[in-house]
Structure 1
């Protein structure tokens, strides 16, 4: 894309600040890179410091601004600190993309341990709740903002051997509706996206299973 339209896109988020969780790889990484290309300063938040650092390096190599935040989104103190870091570093918060997740691979309900269930809910659902809880006041102080939560097609249709993940993502969809209803009048938009399976380090085990790969591509 060339000409005035592309120049406009490059400045669409100029002066804005975005947090993207799970941005060391996959959807989160590409989202962080896209925000930076369009002018936003980005907090690159990921549990893997090395992957987050590579995303930041790529943003900076392209002339963008970014800061690394190593975080477990299921830890409320860490999420609060992430938002504080954002406001302290860039002075405001305009966008939050709750994208981080965790889930056991290829586990039916009877095969899932309680520890796996608890961890899935803590990261994939509670992490979204905590992100919204602590980002919304900062967004209101900045004059409003937008939250995008990564749900999944698995929240909308049956997916085999993914019980904990499906439950958590279904919760993300419901929570998104609730946040949108409660905070729309305060200038906060909250929406969810529901992608299919994306090839990332976290999904290598899923795609390596011939039965599941056949189901996904059928």
Structure 2
């Protein structure tokens, strides 16, 4: 895989990271239609966990098949595919080496309560991500939640383990809970604050809700 000058310049910003981490970041940044441009698009499929299978997939029954999502990411020319443990396990062998995968290692569900303290449970591990050939782990935090500090501590521990073993780290940083209003969750200054916290926590790739 020949790395473009643009991707090389991005990797140069991660001087504290190991060659293994940089190689996995390069795999993501060089994949798909945007490969080599320094931009990327990730297909995240954790809706079944978050909202339930019927709400997520009934409108398109093909989506009940875990392989459908791997193939969708490939056909669309995307940069990577992110999903929880079970979804990755279902297609890791068949699609090995075809598209970078990101194991989402924490998840929530719509049956749980907790508007003031939204949180997520740890549902995957770095060891499982390595076993299944993932390029990265993915994690969600909710800045503003009464549970935010615990989520940050969990992320930092898992991120350190992942980096030590050569995996990249993706962080979804979504302001939510506490005293935040719904419009406040996507206010420009709040979104920027969430992105800044994610960077300070050591994430390589950061996703925030667009303001």
TM-score (norm 1): 0.40
More helix, by proportion: 1
